[in-house]
Structure 1
Amino acid sequence: MFQISSKVFLVNLLTELIIYFIFFSLIIGKRKKDILIRNIFLIVLNFFSTVLIYDIYEFIPTIILIISIYIMYRESNPDYYLMNTVLISRIIFNFTTIVVRVMILPFIINLKVLNIFIISTENFMVLIILILIFYLCRKYNFANIVRDGNYTLSILSVYILIILESFFYFGRRTGTTNTIILGFSIFLLLQLIFIITIFIIQMENSKTRAKRELIDNQLNNLKYYTDELEQNQRELNKFRHDYTNIMLALKSSYIDGTINLAMIEDFDRYSSKYFEGEIVDSMGDLLNIEDPLIKGFLFMKLVQMKHDKIDYEFECKTTISKSNIETHDMIRIIGNSIDNAVQEISIMGTGKVEIFIYQNSEEQEFLIENPYMKNDLDIDYYIEEGNTSKKGHSGFGLSNVKEISEKYDNLFVQYSATEKFSTRIMIIMK
C-alpha cells in the first residue's frame, strides 16, 4: 500500500481540481460570464470541503463538486446538457487518472511513499491526455451527443461514476492495487459494451427525432406553398375575368371619345396589385437558396409576415449553397431571429423587418434587422436564458441561438443595437 504525506496530498488535491476545471471549461465552452472567477471559487470550495469531509465519507466531496458546478453554471431547470457534461467530464477525468496510474505502476511498484515528483508526473500526464481527449471531442461533436441526451444519459453517467469512485474508495481502503487493476479491466470490458449499446440507441433515437421534425417542417412548408399558389391562382383567374371586362370598357370609351387619364390610372392601380407585392418580388431571390428546407421555411415566414401585415424587405442575390451546419439548427437560429424581429415590430406598431442573405467563396451571411425600443440593458442580458424585454415572453430565444452556435466552430452569431437591432449570422465555408 502506498503512503503519501499530508503536504503531498494537499498539493495533489489542489492540482487535480485545477486540471479537472481546465478540462471542464474546455468542454462546456463560454457558457457564463466570469468563468475564471467562478472556477476559482469552485476550486476553493471543493478543496476545503474535501479536506474537511474526506476522512468522514469519501463520496461526499464528489457529490459537492457536481452539485456546486451545476448551481454555478445552470441556465435552465432542469439543465440536462450541463448535468451530462459535468458527469461525463468527471468520468473521463477519473478514467484517465486510472489509466495513467496503471501506466506508471511498473515504475513505482517497489516504492512505499509517493513523493511530489511522482504525483506531479502523474498529474501532468493526465492533463496532456485530457487535452487530447478535448480535441477529439470537438472533432467528433461531443457537444451534440451530450446536448441530445436527456435524463437517461444522466442516469447512465451517475451509474458509471459511482462504479469508478468505488474503485478509488476500495483501493485506498484495502491498498490492493492489483485488485483494482483486475477489477478495472473486467469493469472496462463490460461497461464498454453497455455504453456503446446505450449510445447507439440514443443516437438512433436522436436521428429519428431529427428526421421526423424535418419531415414535419417540409410538410408544413409544402402546405404554405400550396395555399399561396392556390390563392395566387384564384386572384389571377379573377383578374383575367376583370381584365377582359375592363378592356372592353376602355375600347368602348375610346370609340365614344370619352376615355380620359383618370380611367387609365384606375386601371393601372388595379392591375399593379396583381403584379407587384413582397411575395412575388421575393420568389426570385428565394430560388437562389439551394437548401429546400431553408428555402421553404423562409417562404413560410414571408407569407406569415404578409398575412400579419408586417412590412418586410427580403434580398438574396447570390447562390446560397448548403453548409456543414445542420439544417434544423439553421432553421432554429433564423426562426428565432425573425420571430424576435416580428415581435418587436408588433409591440412598437411600426417598422420593417429586413432580411439580407449573401454568400461568397469564404462565408455565408444572414443579416436580420428591425427597429427596436431602446433601453439601458446590455445585449448580453437578453442572451442569458430567461431574460427578455417582452412582457409575458419566456426569453429563451437568444439563449437558444447562443446554445446552438456553440456547437460549431465555424458558426458565429453577432448582435448590435444602434439605430436598428441587427442579428448577423456568419458561416465560415469549409
Structure 2
Amino acid sequence: MTFVNVNNPFVQAASPTYLFLFLIKVCLFYPLLFWGCYRHVARQRIPVSFYVVLGAIFIFWQPNLFLNDLVTICLAIMAVFYLANPFGDRLTTIVSQFGYSILVYYFASTVCMLLSRIILVKYPQFGSLLYLFLVPIIYGLALLVIRIVRPISNRYLARVNNRHPIAEWCLSLLFIPLSLFFFFVQYNQPAFNQLLGVNNLTGNSAALLIALSYFVLAILIMNHIGKDLYQRDLATFATQQLNSFANYTSELEVMYDDLRRFRHDYKNILISLNSALDDDNIEDAKQSLHQLTQSSNRIIDLPTGVLGALQNITNSGIKSIVYQKISVAIKAHLHPRLEVVRPIDLTKTLQSLDAIRIIAILLDNAIAAAKNSTQKEISLSLFENDNAQFIIVGNSTKESRVDLELLAKIEHSVSINSSHHLGLRNLKIILGHYPNAVNDRSSDHHWLEQKIVLPKN
C-alpha cells in the first residue's frame, strides 16, 4: 500500500480532456469539499486565497493518500490558527473542529465511493460522469450530515472547547481509523473482499455498513462525552455557587452582628455622653464622642451599599460571582461600586456560564489593574433597555491613558504590561459566539472602561 505520492499530471495525463477534467476536480471541487466541511462546522468564513492555494497544491499533492491528507490537514490547521483566526481561538479548539469536519469528510467520501461502485455495476455508462461529479456529491452529503448531527456536535464542541483540552486532542483523532479504512477499501478492494470471502457487490455493501457503523459509534462517543463533561461542569459550577452563597450568608450574618453591637454600644455611649454634658464634664464628653465616632466609622465602612445592589441580579450564579469578586476587591482595600438599579436577567442574552465567565474575566482584570493605581477603584454596572443589555466594568489605572490600539493588537496574550492584567483572549472567544455583541473600550484620566453591549433577539 502506498502512503504518500507526488505527481505531475501535466506529464502523466492520458489526454487533454482527462487533464482538463482532472484540474477541475482537484482545483475546484477538492478545495470546496475540504474547506467547506470545516467552514460549516466552525461557522466561520475561509479566505478565498485558502481555496486558491489548496487547489494549486492539489495539482501535484493529490488528496487521495493517507499521508498526503494528514500533511494537508496539519498545514491547514496551522494556516487557520495563524492567518484566519478572527476570534483568537486556541489551537486545541481549531484541532477539535477540524478533526470533526475531517471525520465527516471521510465518512461522506467512503459512502459515496462505495455507492458509486454499486451503481456502476448496473450502470457502467455513468463512469465518466461520476469521475467528475463524485466530489460535489460527497460535499452535498457532508453538508447534509453536518446539518443533521449539528445539535450533537455543537454540544460536544461547546463542552470541550477551552475547558477540556485532553478530550479535544483525543477525540480529534477519531477520523484516522475511518481514513485508513477508506484508503484500504479504495486501493485494496480485492484484498478486502478476499478477507471477507465475498464478491465485489457484497464487499462494497459490507464496507458501507462498516463505515456507517463506525461513524455512528464516533457520534455516540462524542455525544456521551459531551453530556458527561456538561454534567461535570454543572457539578463544579454548583459547588462554586454553593460556596459563594455560604460566604455571602456568613458575610450578612457578620454585618448583622456588627449592626446589633453598634446599636447596643450606640445607646450606651449616648447615655454616657448625655450624663457627661449634664455634669459639665468635658473630658468624659470628648471621650464618649470619640468612641461614638469610631463605632460610626466602622459601620459606615461596611459594604452594605455595594452588596445591597445584588438583590437586583436575578440569576443566582451571576449574583454569586459578582459577590465573590466584590469581596475580593474589598479585601484588597479597593473601593468597589456596584450599580444595578433595576432587576436584570443576563441569561436573556447570554448563556449562564458565559455570563459568569465574562463578568469574572472583566472584574479580575479590573481588580488587578486597580491594585497598582492611585485611586484603587473599580465599578460594575448592569442595566438594560428595550433593545439590549449592558455590562460596564471600569477601573482606575496607573497610566493616565491605556493604549487601546496596543490592547486590541495583543488580545492573544495575557497582559498588556505589568500594571494591567488583561486575560481578554478568552473574553474575545466567548463573545465570538455572539456575533451581534459589541465590546467597546475607552480610557482617559487614569480610568479604563469596558462596555459589553448584548442586543436582545
| TM-score strictly above 0.5 | yes
Contact 2:338 2:380 in 1 (8 A): yes
**Using the alignment, how far apart are the partners of 1:214 and 1:69 within structure 2?**
36
The equivalent of 1:247 in structure 2 is 270
1:109 to 1:22, Cα distance in 2 relative to 1, 3 A = same
1:41 to 1:320, Cα distance in 2 relative to 1, 3 A = same
**Using the alignment, how far apart are the partners of 1:131 and 1:163 within structure 2?**
18
1:249 counterpart SS class = helix
2:450 counterpart SS class = strand
1:82 to 77, 80, 94: 94
2:312 counterpart SS class = coil
1:334 is aligned to 2:346: no
1:389 counterpart SS class = strand
1:307 to 1:96, Cα distance in 2 relative to 1, 3 A = same
Offset, 1:17: 1.3
1:287 is aligned to 2:311: yes
1:320 is aligned to 2:347: no
Offset, 1:312: 2.1
**Using the alignment, how far apart are the partners of 1:362 and 1:77 within structure 2?**
29
1:406 is aligned to 2:432: yes
Unaligned 5+ residue runs, structure 1?
none
Residue identity matched to 1:70: I
Contact 1:286 1:316 in 2 (8 A): yes
Instruction: Identify which range, 188-197 or 353-362, moves more after superposition.
Output: 188-197
Contact 1:70 1:82 in 2 (8 A): yes
Instruction: Identify which range, 250-259 or 182-191, moves more after superposition.
Output: 250-259
Offset, 1:49: 4.8
Unaligned 5+ residue runs, structure 2?
1-13, 83-87, 194-199
**Using the alignment, how far apart are the partners of 2:126 and 2:151 within structure 1?**
42
Offset, 1:88: 0.9
1:9 is aligned to 2:22: yes
Instruction: Identify which range, 184-193 or 7-16, moves more after superposition.
Output: 184-193
1:207 is aligned to 2:230: yes
**Using the alignment, how far apart are the partners of 1:259 and 1:126 within structure 2?**
97
1:416 to 1:291, Cα distance in 2 relative to 1, 3 A = same
Contact 1:42 1:68 in 2 (8 A): no
1:96 is aligned to 2:108: yes
**Using the alignment, how far apart are the partners of 1:388 and 1:208 within structure 2?**
32
1:348 counterpart SS class = coil
1:156 to 1:111, Cα distance in 2 relative to 1, 3 A = farther
1:354 counterpart SS class = strand
1:222 is aligned to 2:245: yes
**Using the alignment, how far apart are the partners of 2:454 and 2:302 within structure 1?**
27
Contact 2:338 2:381 in 1 (8 A): yes
The equivalent of 1:381 in structure 2 is 409
1:68 is aligned to 2:82: no
Offset, 1:217: 0.9
1:144 is aligned to 2:191: no
Contact 1:23 1:130 in 2 (8 A): yes
**Using the alignment, how far apart are the partners of 2:142 and 2:302 within structure 1?**
54
**Using the alignment, how far apart are the partners of 1:69 and 1:382 within structure 2?**
23
Residue identity matched to 1:163: L
Offset, 1:165: 4.7
TM-score by length of 1: 0.80
Residue identity matched to 1:88: Y
2:416 counterpart SS class = coil
RMSD: 3.9
- Number of residues paired by the alignment? 416
Offset, 1:152: 4.4
1:323 counterpart SS class = helix
**Using the alignment, how far apart are the partners of 1:311 and 1:98 within structure 2?**
63
